[in-house]
Structure 1
Amino acid sequence: MGTLAYETDNHIATLTIKSPPANALSSALINDLAEKLDEIEQDEAIKAVVLKGEGKFFSAGADIKEFTSLQDATDYQSLSEKGQQLFDRIEHFHVPVIAAIHGAALGGGLELAMSCHIRIASENAKLGLPESTLGIIPGFAGTQRLPRYVGTAKAYEMILTGEPIRAHEAQALGLVNRVVENEEVFAEAMKLAEKIVAKSKLTINRIMKLIPYSIVDQFATGAKAEAKAFGEIFGSNDAKEGVQAFIEKRKPNFQDK
Structure 2
Amino acid sequence: MSFQYLKTAEIGAVGVVTLDRASKRNAIDEATLAEIEEYFSSVPDHIKAILLKAEGEHFCAGLDLKEHFDKKRTPVEFMRVCQGWHRAFDKIQFGGIPVIACLQGAVVGGGLELASAAHVRVADVSTYFALPEGTRGIFTGGGATVRTARIVSAPRMVEMMLTGRIVDVHEGHRLGLAHHVCDPARGDMPAAEFALELAQKIAGNAPLSNYAMVTSISRIADMSTTDGLFAEGLMIAVVQSGDEVQQRVGEFVAKKAAKVKPDSGAGLAPQRLPG
Question: Taking structure 1 as the reference length, what is the TM-score of the superposition?
Answer: 0.80
Measure, in 2, the Cα distance between the counterparts of 1:136 and 1:178.
31
Q: Deviations over 1:60-114 (max 9, x none)?
A: 1110011111331111111111111111221111111111000111011110000
Q: Does 1:151 align with 2:153?
A: yes
Match for residue 35 of structure 1 among 30, 34, 38: 38
Say whether the 8 Å CA contact 1:111–1:142 is kept in structure 2: yes
Which amino acid is the alignment partner of residue 23 of structure 1? N
Q: CA deviation at 1:217?
A: 5.8
Q: Which moved more, 1:103-112 or 1:147-156?
A: 147-156
Residue 142 (structure 2) aligns with? 140
Residues 62-73 of structure 1 aligned to structure 2 (within 5 Å): 62-68=63-69, 69-73=71-75
Residue 188 (structure 1) aligns with? 194
- Fraction of identical pairs, as percent: 31
Q: Does 1:208 align with 2:211?
A: no
Measure, in 2, the Cα distance between the counterparts of 1:62 and 1:107.
7
Q: CA deviation at 1:156?
A: 1.5
Alpha-carbon spacing, 1:179–1:139, altered in 2? closer, same or farther (3 Å): same
Measure, in 2, the Cα distance between the counterparts of 1:31 and 1:152.
29
Q: CA deviation at 1:152?
A: 2.4
Alpha-carbon spacing, 1:131–1:168, altered in 2? closer, same or farther (3 Å): same
- The residue matched to 1:142 in structure 2 has which SS? coil
Measure, in 2, the Cα distance between the counterparts of 1:173 and 1:115.
16
Measure, in 2, the Cα distance between the counterparts of 1:45 and 1:186.
22
Residue 48 (structure 2) aligns with? 47
Measure, in 1, the Cα distance between the counterparts of 2:172 and 2:47.
29
Q: Deviations over 1:13-49 (max 9, x none)?
A: 0000001321001101111111111331xx1111100
Match for residue 124 of structure 2 among 116, 122, 125: 122
Alpha-carbon spacing, 1:185–1:34, altered in 2? closer, same or farther (3 Å): same
- The residue matched to 1:37 in structure 2 has which SS? helix
Match for residue 199 of structure 1 among 201, 205, 216: 205
Q: CA deviation at 1:210?
A: 2.4
Measure, in 2, the Cα distance between the counterparts of 1:194 and 1:15.
14
Q: CA deviation at 1:131?
A: 1.1
Residue 28 (structure 2) aligns with? 25
Could you say which structure has the larger radius of gyration?
A: 2
Say whether the 8 Å CA contact 1:129–1:142 is kept in structure 2: no
Which amino acid is the alignment partner of residue 194 of structure 1? Q
Measure, in 2, the Cα distance between the counterparts of 1:194 and 1:37.
18
Which amino acid is the alignment partner of residue 50 of structure 2? V
Residue 59 (structure 1) aligns with? 60
Measure, in 2, the Cα distance between the counterparts of 1:209 and 1:143.
19
- The residue matched to 1:127 in structure 2 has which SS? strand
Measure, in 2, the Cα distance between the counterparts of 1:82 and 1:215.
24
Measure, in 2, the Cα distance between the counterparts of 1:159 and 1:216.
24
- The residue matched to 2:42 in structure 1 has which SS? helix
Question: Taking structure 2 as the reference length, what is the TM-score of the superposition?
Answer: 0.75
Q: CA deviation at 1:207?
A: 2.2
Higher relative contact order (CA 8 A, sep 6+): 1
Measure, in 1, the Cα distance between the counterparts of 2:116 and 2:53.
13
Measure, in 2, the Cα distance between the counterparts of 1:73 and 1:153.
27
Which amino acid is the alignment partner of residue 19 of structure 1? R
Say whether the 8 Å CA contact 2:104–2:127 is kept in structure 1: yes
Which amino acid is the alignment partner of residue 209 of structure 1? T
Which amino acid is the alignment partner of residue 91 of structure 2? R
Residue 108 (structure 2) aligns with? 106
Measure, in 2, the Cα distance between the counterparts of 1:217 and 1:63.
35
- The residue matched to 1:143 in structure 2 has which SS? coil
- The residue matched to 2:138 in structure 1 has which SS? coil
